[in-house]
Each structure stands twice: as structure tokens, then as C-alpha cells.
């Protein structure tokens, strides 16, 4: 699955963070879904990773994309990537399908995880759509190894679109797995499924943006947003107020330095242009990697990472997408 990606000029791994990998297997799971199994080009095992993790993949010259890892326990020392060819791909999945085969040498990052598993939850419910099964499969294998049973609802358009069928069939021998095909039964009733879940359940969701937004809204309406976990692979729809897209000033809290942010530039870009080092990854407001503290001023939140309560508290802001509802904002940087 392709996780939300940043521009290649911004997603630069630190020294020593990149690895050389060789494609040992490339299997078409469906006409537009490819499984890549990678091994280290040096012969050493690739670094271990937790369920839900992803890696950055250099897709040709100047293009970097992020893909979820599927097989944490099934193939230790190897990485499995599930990649769906996007119809509007600008070089990520299209490049993989056109250029990658067994024996290809790839440049990947060490794993990162913005979608960690809380295995000690009273009940675990997983909702996945299409290629969104990829990070969830690794979580279910981890839970099976620990003897913890979970509920999975996996949705896709038709049986012909079902990738990872053997993985899901194997997991169904232990977990409560329900496969739903829109072509046969119409859209799945997410609200009914969530309504049946225990109040203390943790819900993990990965799939199309509309599906994930509906699940997120349910969690917030129920006052349980902190128990809902998401991995986006397309930019979520966030309502914006044109009045909050104007110019403003960012004040560096540690020095008092003032940096102007124009209408056409993000807060993150303005800070970097001013020579201030800022970490980031997705740059779509979903991973939380760039979050910084707010010392003064009122943020205009346009992210999908902070909970409704956190946004109301105005103590954090994601400068990759959020702006300012006041004339200036002072950040804890």
C-alpha cells in the first residue's frame, strides 16, 4: 500500500538511514496489485520492523514514495511490499510496475511506524479496503502469534479485486475475518459494524479516503477518537476556510525571530526557507511527524492527525498543512 508521500526534495533520510535491497520475488496478486519481496543487497537480514510500519522507496530519479510492510513475522529478514498501480500515478506505482522485476536493485529507507498496534486492547476491530489490507495483515499475524483474536472486515469491489487472498484465508483460521464485495452486496454498513463494537475497542482502519473519513467521524461523534487509528494513502478531505488561507507571521519561540508566511507557502516551507530545521514525512497532515507546540496565537487546523479535543486545545499544530487564524503564531521551536 502506498502511504501518503512527501515531495522528494523534502523527504530526505538522515545519513545511514537508506538501505540497498534486491527484489527476490515479484508476484502479480491482481492485474493492478503487485507483491514485492525484498532482501538485503548485502546478504545480511533487513532490520526488523513492527506491524504497521512502512518504508520509503526511491522510484527513479527524484521521486520517493512510502509503502506499508506486510510480512513482519512470515518472512523475518525480508520485506514485503504490496503496491497497487494508481490510475493517476505520477511516478510511484507506475514506475514500480514499469521498471521493477526480480533482481532489481532498490533504495529503501529503514522502517518507520506511524500506525502502531495496541495489542493489549480489550477488543480489536480492523477495517480495511482494497490495498489497505497491507499494514493490517502484519498486525493480525502478530496478534495470532500472541494468541489474541481480532475482528477484520476487508472490503473490495469484487472477488477479482481481492489481493492477498491466501494471507486472508490463512488468518481466517484464527481470527474473525469477514470479506465483503461491493459488487455482490453493495456498500458495507460501517456504522452498524462500529455500533456493534465494544466501547473499549480499538479500531484500526486503512483504505479509501471516504471510508476512513466515515470511520473517523464515528469515533469523534462517540467521544472515542483516541481509540481509532488510521493509515491514509490518499490525502484526506479537510474543509478549509478561505479567510484562514491568508498571510501571517510565525515567531520562533526560542529566539523571537519573525518569519512571514505567504498565501502560497506552507508554514513548514517558510520555516525551512528561513533556515530552520524541521522534521516531516507525509506533509499531508496525517502522520503527526512534524507536530510542534504552540506558545501563542490561534492555529487554523487543517490536519487529520490531531483529535478534535487537541485541536480545540490549540497546544499543537502541524505546520505542513495548518495555518493561522490570528495575525501571528509563536511556535515552540
* Longest CA–CA separation in the chain, Å: 61
* CATH number, span 124-230: 3.40.50.80
Question: Considering the chain, what is the average pLDDT of its residues?
Answer: 89
The correct CATH number of 2-109 out of 3.40.50.2300, 3.40.50.2020, 2.40.30.10, 3.50.30.30 is 2.40.30.10
208: which 3 cell numbers? 479509501
Domain boundaries, the chain: 2-109, 124-230, 242-331
Measured in residues, the chain has a length of 333
Name the residue among 13, 6, 115 with its Cα closest to residue 54: 115
Cβ pair 18, 104 in contact under 8 A: no
Tell me the sheet residues that pair with 249.
260, 328
Into which CATH architecture does domain 242-331 fall? Roll (3.10)
User: Which H, E and C letters describe 254-279, residue by residue?
Assistant: CCCCEEEECCCCCHHHHHHHCCCCCC
pLDDT tens for residues 79-129? 999 999 987 766 789 999 999 999 999 999 999 998 999 878 889 999 999
User: What's this model's pTM, rounded to 2 decimal places?
Assistant: 0.81
CA distance 317 to 313: 10
Distance, in Å, from the CA atom of 155 to the CA atom of 146, rounded to the nearest integer, reads: 26
What span, in angstroms and rounded, lies between the C-alpha atoms of 34 and 23? Answer: 12
Query: Does pLDDT of 325 surpass 80?
Result: yes
Q: Which residue has the cell 472486515?
A: 153
Question: What is the helix (H) or strand (E) element at residue 215, kind and residue range?
Answer: helix 209-221
pLDDT tens per residue, range 53-70: 999 899 987 788 889 999
Edge-to-edge strand list for the sheet holding 292-296: 258-261, 248-252, 328-331, 292-296, 316-317
Half-sphere exposure (CA, 13 Å, Cβ side) for 4? Answer: 27
Q: How many Å apart are CA 256 and CA 265, to the nearest integer?
A: 21
Output helix, strand, coil percentages for the chain, rounded to the nearest 5. 25, 30, 50
Of 260 and 234, more confident: 260
Average pLDDT score over residue span 305-320: 91
pLDDT of residue 221: 92
Q: Which three cell numbers stand for residue 158?
A: 469484487
For residue 74, the 8-state DSSP code is T
Nearest to 243 by CA among 307, 155, 302, 315: 302
For residue 123, CA distances in Å to 120, 194, 198 come to 8, 12, 7
Cell numbers representing residue 257 in the block: 525571530
How far is Cα 47 from Cα 55, in angstroms, rounded to an integer? 11
| pLDDT tens profile 201-249 | 999 999 998 899 899 999 989 999 899 999 986 666 666 666 567 899 9
When mean pLDDT is compared across 152-156, 190-194, 208-212, the lowest value belongs to: 208-212
Amino acid at each position: 500500500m502506498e502511504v501518503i508521500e512527501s515531495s522528494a526534495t523534502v523527504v530526505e533520510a538522515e545519513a545511514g538511514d537508506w538501505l540497498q535491497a534486491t527484489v527476490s520475488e515479484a508476484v502479480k496478486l491482481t492485474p493492478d496489485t503487485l507483491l514485492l519481496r525484498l532482501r538485503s543487497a548485502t546478504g545480511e537480514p533487513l532490520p526488523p520492523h513492527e506491524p504497521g510500519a512502512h518504508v520509503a522507496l526511491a522510484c527513479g530519479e527524484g521521486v520517493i514514495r512510502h509503502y506499508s510492510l506486510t510480512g513482519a513475522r512470515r518472512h523475518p529478514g525480508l520485506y514485503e511490499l504490496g503496491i497497487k498501480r494508481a490510475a493517476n500515478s505520477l511516478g510511484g506505482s507506475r514506475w514500480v510496475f514499469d521498471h521493477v522485476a526480480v533482481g532489481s536493485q532498490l533504495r529503501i529507507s529503514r522502517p518507520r511506524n506511524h500506525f502502531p498496534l495496541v495489542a493489549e486492547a480489550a477488543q480489536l476491530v480492523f477495517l480495511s479496503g482494497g490495498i489497505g489490507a497491507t499494514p493490517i495483515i502484519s498486525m493480525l499475524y502478530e496478534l495470532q502469534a500472541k494468541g489474541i483474536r481480532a475482528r477484520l472486515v476487508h472490503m473490495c469491489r469484487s472477488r477479482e479485486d481481492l489481493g492477498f487472498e491466501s494471507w486472508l484465508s490463512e488468518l481466517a483460521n484464527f481470527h474473525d475475518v469477514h470479506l465483503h464485495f461491493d459488487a455482490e452486496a453493495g456498500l458495507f454498513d460501517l456504522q452498524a459494524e462500529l455500533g456493534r463494537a465494544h466501547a473499549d475497542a480499538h479500531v484500526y482502519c486503512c483504505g479509501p479516503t471516504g471510508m476512513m473519513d466515515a470511520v473517523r467521524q464515528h469515533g469523534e461523534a462517540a467521544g472515542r477518537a483516541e481509540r481509532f487509528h488510521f493509515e491514509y494513502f490518499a490525502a484526506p478531505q479537510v474543509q478549509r476556510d478561505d479567510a484562514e488561507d491568508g498571510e501571517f507571521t510565525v515567531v520562533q519561540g526560542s529566539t523571537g525571530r519573525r518569519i512571514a508566511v505567504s498565501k502560497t507557502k506552507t508554514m513548514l516551507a517558510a520555516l525551512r526557507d528561513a533556515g530552520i530545521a524541521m522534521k516531516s514525512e507525509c506533509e499531508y497532515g496525517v502522520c503527526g511527524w512534524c507536530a510542534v507546540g504552540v506558545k501563542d496565537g490561534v492555529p487554523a487546523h487543517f490536519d487529520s492527525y490531531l483529535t478534535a479535543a487537541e485541536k480545540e486545545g490549540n497546544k499543537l499544530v502541524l505546520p505542513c498543512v495548518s495555518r493561522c487564524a490570528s495575525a501571528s503564531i509563536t511556535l515552540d521551536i
